[in-house]
Structure formats: structure tokens, C-alpha cells
Amino acid sequence: MTTAAAPVPAVAVPAPRRTSAVRGRVTVNAVMVAMILYFLLPFWWLVVAASKNNDALFSTAALWFHSPGSFFDNLQQLFTYNDGEYLRWMGNTAIYAGVSGVGATAVATLAGYAFAKYRFPGRNLLFSSLLGAIMVPATALAIPTYLLLSKVALTNTMWAVILPQLLNPFGVYLVRVYVQESLPDELLEAARMDGAGELRVLWSVALPTLKPALVTVLLFSMVGTWNNFFLPLVMLNNDKLFPLTVGLQSWYQGALIQSGANALFTLVIAGSLVAIIPLIVAFLLLQRYWRGGLTVGSLK
């Protein structure tokens, strides 16, 4: 019945230290809660604002609900405004992110594997230029790329947004490091001894081992394209080709120009909310992959 007799594991911590440990714990928890609140603030505001109609948006407290019933009206408006241009932008974004993401990952995989496992002329030169390329700022490249693509009449097409993003020097670097760390030559040799051709070795032996690295490269290139603003802004004139980022910004500008009581504000807000949900869900679901991927090649 009574537990008094049960041996209690001795806690060797002297009393003063224990209180300081408790105090430390309270401080740490307080810091965490404060930072969580700060980082959640814009999300909270977005959810609240997306549930308001245009009048309430301007006249009621910004951080609390007022007319939550408007949420579905806002969504309906969002998807139907201007012949459903939001849905079109969403589709464009999915195409840009999907095609560039998959393409960039494929190219980076082949190149990273080749750098790690084959010798070929120009290998060292190409690899050093790749390291340099990682440091070339992407936005400094966007305007020159625009000028070049306009020479060959490719601006204002989907290709102008997709093609430049197929080049992912960092992805190549990551795959190379990962191949070196996790794919011993002996394993490839064994497959060759069994009579597998080079492509077969790559497909059936190397790729399955490389999966975590590939998911990381894929996820980060897709997010990179999904979030990109500067490149499509520079490349595209035609609003039918806009991705969400450029489209939402154009709505926002439109709302400001037409000033105050404009329903576009509610669209910008609802549109922002809908746009960020897929990415947040993807990150939460794929946590274990990207977290593992981030440590790829980090110091042991």
C-alpha cells in the first residue's frame, strides 16, 4: 500500500543547485514561449484576417475574429475573381515547381554521381567552377539571363522560369558529397561483377542508397522555385503565366492603387493563406527527410 518504504533513487543534486536549475528551466521555457508567439504572430493574423470581410478588415481589432462567416465567401471570391486567375497561378506555380524541381534533381544526381565515381576530361576544372558558381548570387544572374533569353525570344514563356532553375550547383555538390560518404566503390564493383551495365548500376544500386539526399535536393529545389519572386518577375509580362508570388504582389499593388475600400485586400489575404498551406504541410510531413538531408556532409 504505502510507498514510503520503496527505495527512492537518491538525487545527488544539492539544494541550491536544484533551485538554480529550476530557475534556468523556467527562463528557457519563457524564452521559447516568447519566441513561439513572435514567430506565430503573422500566421495568426493571416488566419484571423482571412475570416473577415472587407469592412471588418479595416474597422475591427486586427488580431481577433469578427465576422468568421466571411471566410468561405473570401475563398469563393478568391477562386472566381477574374475568371479564376488565382487557380491558374496556382497551376503555374505547381508546374514551375514540379518541372524545375524534378529536372534539377535529375541533373544534379547524374552530375554529382559522375563527379564522385567517374574520371573524365575536364572534371577538375568543371568541379572548381561549380564551387565558384555556388557563390554567384542568383539575383545578380537574373537580369543578365533575362537579357540573354530575350535575344532568343524565350522571355515571357514558361521556359524562361523553368530552364534557369534546372541549374542547381549546390544540389550537385550535395549529391557528390553524399555519394562519396555512402556509396563505396566495392558495392558498385560487386554489381558490375554480376554483369550489370553502368546505367543499371546507377539505377538499381546507387539511386536507392541516395534517396535521402535526393529527397532533400528535390524538396529544396521545389521550395526554391515555389517561393521565387525575382526571376519570374523579371521574365514574365503576361499575367496568365504568373506564379502565385508575382500574382499576389500584382494584386497587392492593384489594391493599394485603388486605395482603401477595395475587395482586393481580402483576396490578397485569402490568397496568401491558401498559398502557404501546401508548403507548410509538405515540410511537416517530410520532416525526417529534410532534417536528415541538412546534415548530409556536415562535419562529423
Partner 1 sequence: MSLLRQQGPALAPSSPAPAEPLGVRAVGGKSGRRTSGLSARARHRGMGLLLIAPFTLLFLAFLVAPLAYAFWLSLRTSTLVGGDHFSWFANYKQTFTDPQFLSGVRRVVVFGVVQIPVMLVLALLGALIVDEVTSRLAKVFRMTLFMPYAVPAVIGALMWGFLYSPTFGPVNSLSHALGLGKVDLLSHGLMLTSLGNIVTWQWTGYNMIVLYAALQGLPREVYEAAKLDGAGQIQTALRIKIPMISSALVLTLMFTIIGTLQFFTEPRVLEPTASQVISPDYTPNLYAYNLAFQYSEFNYSAAISFSLGAVVFIGSYFFLFATRKRSGLK
Cβ proximity to partner 1, 87 vs 256, nearer residue: 256
- Residues in Cβ contact with 151 at an 8 Å cutoff, skipping those fewer than 6 apart: none
Does 214 interact with partner 1 (rule: CB under 8 A)?
no
Cβ proximity to partner 1, 7 vs 195, nearer residue: 195
Rg, Å, the chain Cα set = 26
Choose the binding region for partner 1 from 2-10, 68-76, 80-88, 244-252 (rule: CB under 8 A).
Answer: 244-252
- Residue whose C-alpha is closest to residue 212's, from 281, 104, 285, 292: 292
Among 94, 158, 215, 296, binds partner 1 (CB under 8 A): 296
CB atoms within 10 A of CB 232: 24
What x/- string results for residues 158 through 177 when contact with partner 1 is judged by CB under 8 A? -----xx-xxxxxxxxx--x
What x/- string results for residues 253 through 272 when contact with partner 1 is judged by CB under 8 A? x--xx--x-------xx--x
Region 96-155 residues binding partner 1, contact defined as CB under 8 A: 106-108, 110-111, 113-121, 123-124, 126-127, 129-141, 143-148, 151
Give the integer Cα–Cα distance in Å for 176 and 213. 10
Least CB distance to partner 1 at residue 6 (A): 27
DSSP assignment letter at 239: G
Q: Tell me the HSE value of 75 on the side-chain side, using a 13 A CA sphere.
A: 9
Does 72 interact with partner 1 (rule: CB under 8 A)?
no
Cell 553524399 locates to: 178
Does 61 interact with partner 1 (rule: CB under 8 A)?
yes
Cβ proximity to partner 1, 4 vs 284, nearer residue: 284
* 275 neighbors 244 (Cβ within 8 angstroms): yes
Least CB distance to partner 1 at residue 230 (A): 6
Question: How many residues of this chain bind partner 1 (CB under 8 A)?
Answer: 120
Least CB distance to partner 1 at residue 166 (A): 5
Does 13 interact with partner 1 (rule: CB under 8 A)?
no
Quote the cell numbers at residue 78: 478568391
Quote the cell numbers at residue 172: 550537385
Q: What Å distances lie between residue 21 and 10, 11, 13, 14, 168, CA to CA? A: 17, 13, 10, 11, 47
Quote the cell numbers at residue 76: 469563393
Give the integer Cα–Cα distance in Å for 62 and 42. 11
Does 244 interact with partner 1 (rule: CB under 8 A)?
yes
Among 74, 97, 224, 289, binds partner 1 (CB under 8 A): 224
Instruction: Give the SS3 label for residue 248.
Output: helix
Least CB distance to partner 1 at residue 2 (A): 32
